[in-house]
Every structure is written in C-alpha cells, then in structure tokens.
Amino acid sequence: MNVPLLDLQAQYASLRDEVREAIDHVFESQRFVLGEEVQKLEASIAEYCGTKHAIGCASGSDALLLALMALDIGAGDEVITTPFTFFATGAAITRLGARPVFVDIDPSSYNLDVSQVVQAITERTKAIIPVHLYGQCVEMDGLLEISVEHGIPIIEDAAQAIGATDRGDRAGSMGLMGSFSFYPTKNLGGAGDAGILTTSDDAVAERLRRLRNHGGRNEYQHEEVGINSRLDELQAAVLNVKLRYLDEWSNERARKAAVYDELLDDVPFELITPSTRDEARHIYHQYVIRVPHYRDALMDHLKQHGVGTKVYYPIPLHRQECFAYLGYHEGEFPESERAARETFALPAYPELSETQQAYVVETIKSFKPERQA
C-alpha cells in the first residue's frame, strides 16, 4: 500500500467542477489582480477569523514582511520569535535589517515557551511573533499580558493555524495582526502562492493595503515605499471555493488525529503523540509525533513500506548558515534542537481512508526497535 504524507489529488477530485467554474469566471472577466474575488475573500476571511479587516497579499512570507513593515521595523530593532518554525518567520525579520531574538519552545506543544519571553525583551524589542505551529495556538493569555505590560505588539504567524482557537478566539484575531499562508499544502491552499493578513485596527489595515501595492495612496501618489505583493484573482477564486469546506476538512483532520492518539497508545517503544489543551482547537495542519530513540529508523521503516513522513523542521533557525552572524551556538535552544532530532509528521489529511490509516499504525507497530544498532 502507498500512503502519501498529503494527497492533493484526492482533494481536487472532490472539487474539480467548482474550481474549474470559478477559474473560468476569472478568465471571462479578464480582471486578474485585486478584483472582486479578492474583495470577497478578504471579507470572508475577516469574518472567519473574527477580525474587522483582512488584506490579501502574495504569500505568507510577504504577509509577515508587510506586518513588520507596518510597524516600521528596521535596522537596530529586535523581534522575538521561535527558532523552531518555517524559515520565512526568521527571514522576514532579517530582510528588514532587524534582528531575530530566539526563545526556545515548550517541548510538549513545540510552541514558543511563553515563560521565557520576558527575559528576552530589551529596549530594542519592537514585536513578538508567536508561531501557531502545526495548527495549535500558542498559549496567548500569558503572551498578551506581556504585550500589554511592555507595550510590544504581537504578530501571530498563523500560516499553519487558520481556524484554530485559543479560549474561543481565532488564530489571527488575538495579536495586533495575524499572517496567513495559502501555500497549496496548507489547510486552506490555493493553486500557487497567496497569503493574507488580519487585523481589527483600522489604521494598520489601511497601511497594509498601501504597503502591499507600492505604498501608494493611489496609483500615482506615494508617501512611502511599499512592495508589490498583490493577491491575484485566480488564487482568490480558488480559495473562495475551498473556504466553504475548510472547517469540514479541519474537523476531519482532528478525527484522524484522535484515531492515531488512541491506536498509538500501546506501541512497544517510546512514542509521544501530540499534546493538546482543552480550551484550544487544534486544526492539525500536521500530526507530529516524537520518537526519542528511533526517529530516523522508524521513518526509514515507514518509507520502505510506502508511508510518507516528513520532519518539520530538521534545522532550527539559529543553526541555519545564513543566520550564523547572529552568533547563536549549538545547544543554546535545547528543546528546539531536540524536537528537530526526535519528531516527524504522519499522514493525517482529510481524505486519508480508514484502511490507509490502519496500515500506517500497523506499519509503526511492526517496527522492531531491538534490531536497531
């Protein structure tokens, strides 16, 4: 049997007619950038996330960059974030000449350890970027308190967490801004690159709208320099179709996760399933397990039996070559480094069949740790 980590073909098969019709509609209109489909998507995402505004842009990476630009972050500034995240989180900070200040993760949630944030704050700290990793929100209560007390705004990197909640609040609605990615493999994925920002602050929303379109007040009057990070109509049209199914899909992912939680409870070697909080909704962008002693051998065993897996992420940001100048060293963020060595994702997409999932579990259970050197 073959079980890929993600099967976008299966998703497309269920949406084919609707998606094609939406794309046809865009071609017939011959309006390709920032038109009606984008406006519709922005209104729907704002409503979905519980924010006043949503501003479409070209990618999740650009969403982070634009959020930092809207806070006038640049050389000499510091931004606190996690080293255990996708590369884009750190890159957005350094692209503006600012310095990422890393704080280690909580080993059970893999999210920023909020209890270590205060000690990382200096007079140069201009923002905090919590990343809701794998689809589970950072514990925002504590972080919001820090934000208010120190007057430091929060940008939520919610690229993996659309629809996730923390005490009833949706990801992207708790900080000053939220940034989302519609990369094709995300829970809500387009047919290429796309992203969006959420905020309930009118002035910030207006600034973001300008910044994504060359900083212009209108086509010819520029009070500042922005970037070209407009969202196109084809992406928005596809996303408008898919958004209708998002909650169904995320609930289905959560059901797959619950099945794994139960069936992986009694494997004969140490295997730690994801920990979740009662007051939070996890949307399982990834279902990530920790296997302290046999991670690579188990991944290899699964591969040999046709099961797709992947490590998110094998190299924490403070160990990336391009960030060597920051001066961080190995061992500085031990939990991030340990997670990079011990964890990997299993297939948990909505269309995964019961038979396929049973096969994944069976394959894990057939792994013989005693045969490992």
- Residues of this chain that bind ligand PLP (CB under 6 A): 59-61, 85-86, 88-89, 131, 157, 159-160, 181, 183, 193, 195
3 within 8 A of 360, measured Cβ to Cβ = yes
Least distance between ligand PLP and beta carbon 172 (Å): 12
| Rounded least distance, CB 362 to ligand PLP, Å | 30
Least Å from the CB of residue 195 to ligand PLP = 5
The nearer residue to ligand PLP, 60 or 350, going by C-beta atoms, is 60
Shorter beta-carbon distance to ligand PLP: residue 89 or 147: 89
DSSP codes, 6-29: --HHHHHHTTHHHHHHHHHHHHHH
Report in angstroms how near the CB of residue 86 gets to ligand PLP at its nearest.
Answer: 4
CB 113 within 8 A of CB 140: no
**Taking a C-beta distance cutoff of 8 angstroms, is the pair 156, 183 a contact?**
no
**Closest to ligand PLP by CB, 133 or 237:** 133
Nearer to ligand PLP, 301 or 319 (CB): 319
Whole-Å CA distances, 341 to 119, 145, 289, 299, 337: 26, 32, 12, 12, 6
Q: Measured between alpha carbons, how far is 90 from 125 in angstroms, rounded to an integer?
A: 15
Residues 6 or more apart from 344 whose CB is under 8 A from it?
Answer: 288, 289, 291, 295, 298, 299, 309, 310, 311, 312
- Determine the residue with CB nearest ligand PLP: 60
Size (the chain), residues: 373
Instruction: Give the distance, in angstroms, between the CA of residue 142 and the centroid of all CA atoms in the same chain.
Output: 20
Whose structure tokens read 């894990």?
364
Min dist. Cβ of residue 129 to ligand PLP (A): 9
Tokens representing 307 are 């099961």
249/290 Cα distance (integer angstroms): 24
Peptide bond just before 312 cis, omega within 30 deg: no
Nearest approach in angstroms of CB 4 to ligand PLP is 19
Shortest approach of ligand PLP to residue 48 CB, angstroms? 18
